């Protein structure tokens, strides 16, 4: 599984995202996360970034809404109850990682 974390420079939510992603990856040794800093709208569009931070799983953003445009903005994630937050929960991250591993 290929994981890439896309952020803008000095993203205030990158650290929390990385902590939750590390917790979600517990028990999956050898899974590496590449990190990329995105500095322009063109680069965001090319890489598939929908706000910072964005996690690409096998080249796809599993949290992006259909038709969501690329963006350099800070990103909000919705939990299952609809509450917005700066990063997805560990459970949501595990769900998308498990789904990607089943493909």
Please report the pLDDT score of residue 102 as a whole number: 65
Whether residue 45 contacts residue 72, with contact meaning beta carbons closer than 8 Å, is answered with no
Look up residue 64 and give its two tokens.
């992006």
Looking at the chain, the whole-number percentage of residues with pLDDT higher than 70 is: 98
What confidence tens digit (pLDDT) does each residue in 37-55 have? Answer: 999 999 999 999 999 999 9
Strands (E), the chain: 3-7, 33-37, 50-52, 54-57, 71-74, 77-78, 84-85
- The owner of tokens 């420079």 is 9
Please report the pLDDT score of residue 27 as a whole number: 81
**Which pTM value belongs to this model?**
0.92
Please report the pLDDT score of residue 72 as a whole number: 92
């Amino acid at each position: 599984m290929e994981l890439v974390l896309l952020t803008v420079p000095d993203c205030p939510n990158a650290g929390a995202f990385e902590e939750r992603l590390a917790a979600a990856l517990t028990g999956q040794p050898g899974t590496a996360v590449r990190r990329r800093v995105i500095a322009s709208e063109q680069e965001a569009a090319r890489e598939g970034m929908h706000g910072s931070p964005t996690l690409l799983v096998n080249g796809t953003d599993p949290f992006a809404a259909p038709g969501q445009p690329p963006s350099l903005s800070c990103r909000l994630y919705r939990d299952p109850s609809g509450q917005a937050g700066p990063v997805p929960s560990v459970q949501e991250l595990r769900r998308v990682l498990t789904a990607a591993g089943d493909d």
